[in-house]
Amino acid sequence: MKYRGIIFDLDGVICHTDKYHYKAWKQLADRLDIYFDEQINNRLRGVSRMDSLEIILERYAGAPLSQEEKVQLANEKNEIYKKLLMEMSSEDLSDEVKTTLENLRKLGLKLAIGSSSRNARLILSRIGLEDFFDGISDGTNIEKSKPDPEVFIKAAAMVNLEPKECLVIEDAKAGIDAAHNGGMDSAGIGDAADYSLASYSLTRFSQITDLIF
**Residue 11 in contact with Mg ion, rule: CB under 5 A:** yes
* Residue 1: partners with Cβ closer than 8 Å, 6 or more residues away: 107, 109, 212, 213
Closest distance between Mg ion and the C-beta of residue 205, in Å?
A: 13
CB of 166 to ligand B16, least distance (A): 16
Q: Which is nearer to Mg ion, 34 or 47 (CB)?
A: 47
Instruction: Considering the candidates 11, 171, 185, 191, report the single residue annotated as catalytic.
Output: 11
Distances (CA, A) of 62 to 32, 44, 50, 65, 177: 8, 22, 18, 8, 34
Minimum separation from the CB atom of position 45 to Mg ion (A): 6
Question: Is residue 138 a contact residue for Mg ion (CB under 5 A)?
Answer: no
CA distance 36 to 176: 26
Residue nearer to ligand B16 on the CB measure, 37 or 210: 37
Q: Residue 70: which residues within 8 A CB-CB, separation 6 or more?
A: 50, 53, 57
Residue 129 interacts with which of ligand B16, Mg ion, none, CB < 5 to 8 Å by class: none
What span, in angstroms and rounded, lies between the C-alpha atoms of 202 and 193? 6
DSSP letters spanning 140-179: TS-SS-TTSTHHHHHHHHHTT--GGGEEEEESSHHHHHHH
Query: How far is Cα 72 from Cα 69, in angstroms, rounded to an integer?
Result: 5
Asked if residue 151 binds Mg ion (CB under 5 A), the reply is no
Among 172, 178, 184, 198, indicate the residue that binds Mg ion (CB under 5 A): 172
Specify the residue, 1 or 45, whose C-beta has the smaller distance to ligand B16: 45
Which of 6, 8, 44, 46 contacts Mg ion by CB under 5 A? 46
Distance in Å, CB of 62 to Mg ion, minimum: 30
Of the two residues 135 and 190, which places its CB atom closer to Mg ion in the complex?
Answer: 190
Residue type, 151: V
* Contact positions vs Mg ion (CB under 5 A): 9, 11-12, 46, 171-172
Residues serving a catalytic function are: 9, 11
